[in-house]
Structure formats: C-alpha cells, structure tokens
Structure 1
C-alpha cells in the first residue's frame, strides 16, 4: 500500500472529493513528519533567528545567579514590616551603605539597617525586600518609608527565577525568536545547534502566464504567484529554490518536478491541479509520484494536490509536494491554512512551535453571507475598540483572483464548516496575518 493510501485509510470519513479543512490538516500531519535523522549544525547566535533548535539547551547555572534587586531603592529585612517604628506607620532604618550592580556588597548591616541598592545589585545577606526609592524619605543617615507600601519579599528577583541549573532553557524543535536568542545569550552561548534550513522549490505553471518584464499580450497575465510564494517561504525561514515559470508541456513539467525533488525537501507549485484539458500538471504529478488530488470544502482554494515525489535514488527518500490552485488569493489562503503548518512540521518544529496562533474573536461590522457545509476565508480588516472586542470589516472584492484585497486586509475571517450567515454585530473568528505574512 502506498504512503498516501495508508494515510487515507487511517482517517475516518476520508473523501478526496469533499474533504473538510480539518481532514486536510489531519492528513498533512501524517504526510509531513520530519525525517528522524536530521543532522545539527552549530550556527552563530546572530544567524539563528527563525531557525529550529536541534537539541535541548540545558542551563549550566541559575539565571539570575543570585537574589537581586528588581529596582532602585533600599533593601532591608522584610520581617521589620510587622512592626512600624512610629505613629504614622512608617519604618525608620539606618542606612548602612550602598550596593551597586556588578559586585556583591561587602559591608556589614544590623537587624535595623537598610542598604541603598541599585537595580540588579546582589541582595545583601539577611535582606529580602526592597522599598522603591520614590516611597522613601532620606533624613540624614536614616531612611523613612510607609510600612503599608509593600509586603515582605517585594521587588526581589530570586536566584534561578528565570532559568534553573540543570533544566532545559530551550527545547529541541523550538523555532527561535528574538526572546529565545536573548535567553541563549543570557547563558553565555555564542552558537546554537540548529536543524538545517528546509529547502523548498517552487514554480508556477501555465501558458497564459507572463514573467515580470515580458511584453503584455492578449489573454495573458503576469505571474504574481511566484513572488507571493517566495515571500511566504522566505518569511517562514525556508531556503527557497525558484524554478521559474513552467509552460503546459508534460515533458518540461516532468523534468522540473524531478529536478525539484532532487534539489529540495518540499515542492510548492501553483496552477494545473484542476481537471481542465490543458492542466497537464495533475497528470504528470500522478505519473511521477504518490499523489492525492482533493476537492476541499472551502472557499477560496477548492482544488489542491499533495503527495511524495521520489528523488533520483530510492534511498534518498521523497520530496513532499503541495500543488496549489492558480488563483492568487487561493494560493495564499491554502498556503496559510495548510502548507505553512505542514512545512513547520517538516522543519522539525515541536508541537508548540508549529501550533497555529489562536483565532482572534472580533465583531463583524457587516452582515456576511455563508452557506453551511464548507469553510470560508474572507479577507478582513480588524480595528481595535477600547474596552470592547475589536471589529472586523470585509476588505474589498472577495474574488479568488483579487490580490489587492489581500493587501488591504490584515486577517482572514474564518467562517467555519457548519456556520451559516453572519449578522452585523455577531462575533466571528479571525486568523491574523501578523507573523505569517
């Protein structure tokens, strides 16, 4: 049994002619599993942004390494808060010295003393609380402050509060963002063990498509999909292999797919996966690889192909193929809904790193027509409303070839499979573009 057939057989209710969005995601989760023997490479910290960690990073020490002050103020023994020193409820303590950041304070302090302390300075022995300096009044060699202004232990950072020695600071499969780079730097690391960048080949198909810079001709359109897909792949951190524009010629299509399988881990194509007479891409894919062709219960983006294209040698395995529709908006929607999470999984991302961002709940500013039985993704623009849920307005013409409406939008209104018409003022889910586009 082929791998495609094996996955299909394991999915309840699998129907390639009427597949739900959830069914597609379940299928791709099986198809896009990463190889088990992905090697690591040591990469400088500054080059690690967006890359995937190849093994756990265990903290060799506590971060911070000692209790320290969270702000400028005066450190003292918090037990003194239980008894105010005057009728106004204020504490009066002798100032025993000043603790600066970068070195432990070497002075001596008694039980009724306070130490002036700077943010980040090591807490003096026997002291566990810091009163911010704005609450304090310095009177000669004493400091006075209201005892009710804080509780014992306030404004102290504990040793190991950020990272504990012997615990994983970063986990295998984490996709590294700016905060993760800073966390690694806090351990003194200059390089990180990373999985190789995923190589993705992509090309457009169709005799009606023009390359940018070519002279216009009747019945032809310029190839926007290659630039859109390039941007989506680059934003994802992939190493992109642009194989250009491929005409509707079976031999050329076959050669390009075979080259893509040799040179890349995954392949993304646009156009030619429907059932038209000139859609040779579908037939060539079927001949070369283990393929599934779907009619997905969604709008836009109904036709889609997925499969495995073998490399030149059987031992080299397969490249995962995603055959997307030809309409520009359908390309972007199917990429965001299906290809992006599948590629993140193929990169070796763990479940947390590849999890989709939670859908934003927003109020629809207008009525939206929708028939149950398919998932719809409508372009929308979300605006914040102080003290209330944000509202979302449908952005421009919703035709699957109208790319300008994707530029106007900042998210996709997700109208779920069983959902019907939406009334103005009703809540809807929105998939925000931030971080994905």
Structure 2
C-alpha cells in the first residue's frame, strides 16, 4: 500500500486546473478562484489622510510641548482643505485628506483648547514628521497588482477589489463534482429505518465539504448495492462533471462494487493506502462517453465509515480539488503540540487521531477512535498525524493538524 504522502503526490500529479473562466459581478464571486491578476484602478488611499481625529500641524511650528496654534480650518472626511499656513493647525477627522503644508497629525487626546480661547489649540506633545498620516497609495497603487491569479476570494479579497474600483472579476468556473453513496442499509433522515438500516451521514458531511470549497456539487443520492446500478451511476456522473466522489463500496467484500464498476467504465490507478482510518481509498477516471475525445471525469472512492470518509476527504480530496480550481494553496498547516494522553497500541499504518485542545496547552484524545464514531470529529479540534508503529506517551510532542486548516 502507498503511504499517505505517496498517494497524495499521485493524485496531485494528475490534477490540472479547469481552463474555463467567466466575468462575474464582484458580489457574486465569494468562494470563487481568481483567473487572472487584478490591477487597481486607483491609488488607495487617493490622498494622504489622517488615521486619527486630531489636528494637522507643521512640525516646525510644534518644536516644544505646549505650542499654541491658530485653528485655521476644519476638515471632515470627504472634504479637502486648503494649504496649511505657518503658525496654524487644521481640525481634522479620521479619513480626511491631510492639507498641503502639514507634515504630522496630533491626536485630539494630546491637545487642549486654551482657557478662554475660541480659535486656538494647545499641542501638548512634540509630534514627529509623518505621525498618524496614511500615505497616498500605501495600500494600493494605481495600475499595480491588487490580487493575483489563483486567489480564493474571501470577504477580505472582495473588499480589496472594491477599494481598487472594480465591479467585475474574471474567475475560474466552479469545479463540478458529482457525489453518490452506496449501501442498501442507507436511508435519508426523515425516512423510516428498516431493520439493519442507518441514516446516511456521509451525504451531508461530504456535500457540505464540497460547498465549503466553492464547488458546484451534484447529489446523485443513494445507489443500490448492485454492479449494474453502480456502473449506471458512474456513467451519469461522468457526463457533466470534473470529478466523481463516492462513499462506500470501496472495500473488497462481495457487496462492494466500486472497484469492478470503475474498471469497467474507465480505469483505476490507486487502490488502498496505508492510513487509519481510511485504508480503502480509490482513485481513477471514468469515461465521459465511448468517444475518447470526450475525455474523462476523475474518480475518488472514499470509505463508507463516516470518520474514514471525512478524514480521507480532508487529506486527499480537498487538495485535489484545490488544484483543479487553480487555487494558490499554501502547505498544510500543522503545529507541534504536547500530547496529554497515551496511545500505546501503535498501528503499522499512519494514524490520524481525533483530538481536542485543552486549557493546559496540550491535546486530549477522544476516548473512542473507531472509524464509525463521527462524534469524535464533531468533538475534536483537529487530528494528530501519528507515524506508523509510533506509540504516543503523555508529554510527547506530536504533529497536530487543526480542522480549521482542512476546511477552507
């Protein structure tokens, strides 16, 4: 069996970003991937402005504490003042342009109005040149790159695009993913459970994961445990999708039809990896039609156990989708943390243990690490990446991967 890293490298070596792009109104681009560099249409800010309420002054006029200046003008945000003359100050408010001639802003807390005066200000600190002034173009410069191709557009990126004066963005089309779930024991919440039946938790978990990544996800439902039904579902899914994801039927039992179905409708490149949970992971491709020119849809078969399905999605499907999207993705975040638990029954496979941050700077272990106990993932904050044949003793340093890093 391949190691987790070997399997991931294999998947990523096949993934190619989708080529199609579209121009979309900016407010509709949340969760999309930028297809080209975006240049700012303006300087941001457009003029030197103050970051504080206070008084714009000349430092040459305020060489000593207690300097008294005439208040010559008042400049609220959205207004432009006149040139500041020697011996004067401008009452100024956050965001307002700093008048020509001023080289510092003194915040109002450091100033006072002299007793009995109606048009003067006393500057009680000696300002330094440039203080509390935001310079023209210090955020964005007109004509320069504001956002780079491959950026996943979050609320903050939309704010940058708006400040750059843009109304539309050219983005990659959404990656189209079809998902179906195998198992005659499965039922949807709200349906009566037959003897031996269980509710299908993987459907909601995986579809939510796909949507959180900005995919166009199609739910093809539950497919009966029959080879002909599995093959038919693969043919349907392949036609209009970039990727097919299945859950269940990926093992080697008599009722597991994923392997022969994918082999019949396409090809299987990878089968089983040396991790726990999640050993029966499959990767391959399904023909879109009998015509080779129509291409293939990628296929990833996940285990049926809910924790196995969730963990393998995070570790393998997510980075594969990020590459299909053309996203600029940073290396997976992990941290060295202290284990406040014992895990002495080391497995020969790479284990991913569900853990939670405690109030003492360490990690606690969920007591039941079964691949069927999904509450371990809901309870936990992340995973401990435990190498093969590696026991863990309380106090050991371990590799911790937070769920937050795996769900964006």
The structure 2 residue matched to 1:434, chosen from 380, 404, 408, is 404
**Aligned partner of residue 203 in structure 2, secondary structure:** helix
**177, 188, 193: which is aligned to 2:170?**
193
Aligned to 2:78: 102
Equivalent in the alignment of 1:120: 95
TM-score normalised to structure 1 length = 0.86
Q: Give how far 1:206 is off.
A: 2.2
**Aligned: 1:24 with 2:7:** yes
Shift in Å, 1:118: 0.6
Task: Check whether the contact 1:341–1:355 (CA below 8 A) recurs between aligned residues.
Answer: no
* 2:53 maps to 1:52: no
Whether 2:375 is the aligned partner of 1:404: answer: yes
Deviation at 1:322, TM superposition (A): 0.7
Counterpart CA distance in 2 for 1:80 and 1:254 is 83
Q: Which moved more, 1:197-206 or 1:275-284?
A: 275-284
Per-residue Cα deviation, 1:350-381 (whole angstroms, up to 9, x for no partner): 2xxx2355224433222233637543211122
- Kindly indicate whether residue 313 of structure 2 is the aligned counterpart of residue 338 of structure 1: no
> What RMSD over aligned residues (CA atoms) do the two structures have, in Å?
2.1
Q: CA deviation at 1:273?
A: 1.7
Alpha-carbon distance in structure 2 between the residues aligned to 1:262 and 1:271: 22
Report the CA distance shift for 1:383/1:124 in structure 2 as closer, same or farther (over 3 A): farther
- C-alpha change, 1:26 and 1:391, in structure 2 (3 Å) is same
Counterpart CA distance in 1 for 2:401 and 2:368 is: 18
- 1:127-138 superposed matches below 5 A: 127-138=102-113
Is this contact kept in 2: 1:396–1:408, CA < 8 A?
no
Q: Decide which of 262, 285, 292 is 1:308's aligned counterpart.
A: 285
* Alignment counterpart, residue 44 of structure 2, candidates 63, 74, 79: 63
Aligned equivalents of 1:109 and 1:262: distance in 2?
A: 69
Question: Is the CA contact 1:56–1:172 (under 8 Å) kept in the aligned structure 2?
Answer: yes
SS of alignment partner, residue 229 of structure 1: helix
2:197 to 220, 242, 249: 220
Query: How far apart are the structure 1 equivalents of 2:101 and 2:264?
Result: 77
TM-score normalised by the chain length of structure 2 = 0.92
User: Whole-Å Cα distance in 2 between the matches of residues 290 and 407 of structure 1?
Assistant: 35
Moved more, 56-65 or 390-399: 390-399
CA offsets per residue over residues 204-241 of structure 1, 9 Å max, x none? Answer: 11233334344333333222211211111111121111
Aligned residue for 1:147, secondary structure, equals: coil
Q: Distance in 1 between matches of 2:341 and 2:128?
A: 51
Task: Please say if 1:142 is aligned against 2:136.
Answer: no
Question: Does the residue aligned with 2:113 lie in a helix, a strand or coil?
Answer: strand
* Runs of 4+ residues deviating >4 angstroms: none
Aligned position for 1:157: 134
Alpha-carbon distance between aligned partners in 2 of 1:264 and 1:151, rounded to the nearest angstrom? 61
Q: Is contact 2:210–2:217 with CA below 8 Å preserved after alignment?
A: yes
- Paired residues of 1:364 and 1:423 also in contact (CA < 8 A): yes
Q: Point out where structure 1 has 5 or more consecutive residues left out of the alignment.
A: 1-16
Aligned-partner Cα distance in 1 for 2:260–2:59 = 77
Tell me how far apart the structure 2 counterparts of residues 23 and 90 of structure 1 sit (CA, whole Å).
Answer: 70
1:323: which partner in 2?
Answer: 301
Check conservation: 1:293, 1:303, Cα contact below 8 A.
no
**How many residues are aligned here?**
403
Displacement after TM superposition at 1:428 (Å): 2.8
C-alpha separation in 2, matches of 1:205 and 1:360? 36
Q: Structure 2: how far apart are the matches of 1:356 and 1:54? A: 21
Describe the SS at the equivalent of 1:26.
helix
Secondary structure, aligned partner of 1:278: coil
Q: Are the counterparts in 1 of residues 202 and 306 from structure 2 also a CA contact under 8 Å?
A: yes
Counterpart Cα distance in 1 of 2:174 and 2:399 = 32
- SS of the aligned residue for 1:303 comes to coil
3-state secondary structure, aligned to 1:189? coil
1:323: how far off? Answer: 0.6
Evaluate the alpha carbon distance shift between residue 373 and residue 110 of structure 1 in structure 2; reply closer, same or farther with a 3 A threshold: farther
Q: Does 1:93 align with 2:69?
A: yes
Residue 53 of structure 2 is aligned to residue 72 of structure 1: yes
After superposition, the Cα gap between the structure-2 partners of 1:365 and 1:208, relative to the gap in structure 1 and judged at 3 Å, is same
Distance 1:130 1:369 in 2: 63
